[in-house]
Amino acid sequence: MVRATKLLAEVKSHYGDLKNYIGGTWRTPETTEWLEDTNPATGGVIARVPLSTNEDVDVAVQEALRAWDTWRETPPLDRARYFFALRDLMEQRFEDLSRVIVQDMGKTIDEARGEVRRAIENVEVAAGIPSLMMGYNLEDGAGQGIDEEVLYQPLGVFAGISPFNFPIMVQFWFWPYAVATGNCWIAKPSEQDPTAMQLVMDLVHQAGFPAGIVNLVHGAKETVNAILDHPHIAGVSFVGSSAVAKLIYAKAAASGKRVQAGGGAKNVLVVMPDAKLDKVVSNLVSSCYGCAGERCLAGSVVVGVGKVHADLRRKFSNAAQALKVGYGLDETVQMGPVISAVHRDRVLGFIDRGEQEGAQVALDGRSVRVSGYDGYFVGPTILDDVRLDMTVAREEIFGPVASVFAVHAFDDAIDLINSSPYGNAATIYTSGGKYARDFRYRVRAGNIGINVGVAARWPTSRSAGRRTRSSETSIRRAAMRSGSSRRARSSSPGGSDRLGRRTRF
């Protein structure tokens, strides 16, 4: 692996001591604890991250509560206009946002540009809130002479706790909808790569959002606990590992909060004998090794059905081996580092464990080095002859490691998928309509891909998962993202009203 001769320029070489954005101003947290934020490609420190305290979180909540009364009375069309302004500012700073993501998270520049584009698309959709937030009614809906009317109303202050792998996009799954519907927001980005959200808050400020509507609080575990325990936070959105998602769901729900918590995945890609293998392989490589495998929709298990397995393994291995690994600000690089030294060692440990348990290391990324860089690189890795009882087959690795299985028939592939405790996504590659339809119908996963390696939704559709991730199923967002409630009013001729709140699910 050779270091590129020319890189795109970094936005800054160092971002200094980060601050919280609260009540429309940048504030130094009341903490004595800080973390060093490193560039995953170089290993160099690019910022210091404050670990905000309970008091810091409370300041953010109080500022948001002060802003909420006025914000909830602001007409939806007026709220939408702030998003038009934000969208234009994000387009103007599109490249800067993308490069900061590369520098702090480690993905390639094209992957970062894709992430920023998805964030902007969510802003665009949220700007349509005057129609998206409309309620409905039904004459005589609750009985003769009793009409029913449903209104969507904001609830207050919501918080978003997001993971390192999409430092901008995951927050944008939630906060534009919460704010557009009249709520206030507190963002808690990952402490491992929070600098991109700093730039986002600069743009929020420039867009003219009133003070206290959108806030940012840095921190780690103590900060998260302060969010979960705060009595005036109405709901929490989280994406991360399954173990943490379960803890957050239980703790937030126990205090009466609305909560959505997305966990991990072990996504299966099934290749049928009738698949167009030369086209399939590039899609497999993108699914398994895009974002260095650090995404919940990444393919991690490749299943060859019947006679296709031998050719699949050979072509897949050759294509993965050809990937250029390096610093993502080199536009020729196809895969960047993983997020940290700790995570690199975790991924390497999974490869070692797989080999010890009997898997064949068909492509070994453990010894990959990138000349001129001391970052956290793991090369594309393929484990063959994997069995279902192996650790690498059962647990989420969250790195550039694919396990390859051979099964005899289509039904075996379905059984393999449905035996997993995970249920985020599954894909089939086939030329046959019957296989495609049966796969969609029988597989117990929330996101189904037909000849698509990353079965990701668009901002106009809902996210979905089964078992570990959530209870909703879709081929292509939980409604709670808006933070609205539904208010039902039934009016009788006598003038009495019946009011009740309903959960938006």
CA–CA separation, 418 and 408 (whole Å) = 16
Mean of pLDDT values over 365-386? 97
Q: What is the pLDDT of residues 174-184, one digit of tens each?
A: 999 999 999 99
**The whole model's pTM is what?**
0.91
Give the pLDDT band of residue 495 (cuts 50, 70, 90): very low
Give pLDDT, residue 353: 98
Mean pLDDT of 301-308: 97
pLDDT exceeds cutoff 80 at 478: no
Name the catalytic one among 184, 288, 291, 296. Answer: 296
* Contacts of 256 by beta carbon, 8 Å cutoff, 6+ apart: none
Q: Which of 128-137, 205-214, 448-457 shows the highest mean pLDDT?
A: 205-214
In this structure, whether the domain defined by 267-450 belongs to CATH 3.40.309.10 is answered with yes
Separation in Å, CA 367 to CA 42, 324, 342, 355: 17, 14, 16, 15
Q: Is 296 a catalytic residue?
A: yes
Residue 153: name the closest of 168, 170, 129, 133 by CA.
133
- CB under 8 Å to 123, separation ≥6 — which residues? 83, 86, 87, 90, 172, 176
Confidence band (pLDDT; 50, 70, 90) for 465?
low
For CATH 3.40.605.10, list the domain ranges present in the chain: 20-263
Confidence of residue 5 (pLDDT cuts 50, 70, 90): low
Q: What is the pLDDT of residues 220-246, one digit of tens each?
A: 999 999 999 999 999 999 999 999 999
Q: Does 81 score more than 90 pLDDT? A: yes
Q: What's the mean per-residue pLDDT of the chain? A: 91
The pLDDT of residue 484: 43
Specify the CATH number for 20-263; select among 3.30.720.200, 3.40.640.10, 3.40.50.620, 3.40.605.10: 3.40.605.10
Share of the chain above pLDDT 90, in %: 87
What is the pLDDT, as a whole number, of residue 372? Answer: 95
Q: Which residue in 250, 198, 193, 188 sits closest to 222, CA to CA?
A: 188
Specify the pLDDT at position 464. 60
Domain with CATH 3.40.309.10 in the chain: 267-450
Say what percent of the chain tops pLDDT 70: 90
Examine the pLDDT at 463 and tell me if it is beyond 70. no
Is pLDDT above 60 for 121? yes
Average pLDDT estimate for 318-328: 98
Is the Cβ–Cβ distance between 502 and 153 less than 8 Å?
A: no
Q: Over range 338-367, report the average pLDDT.
A: 98
290 by Cβ neighbours in 10 Å (0-12 / 13-18 / 19+) ranks as buried
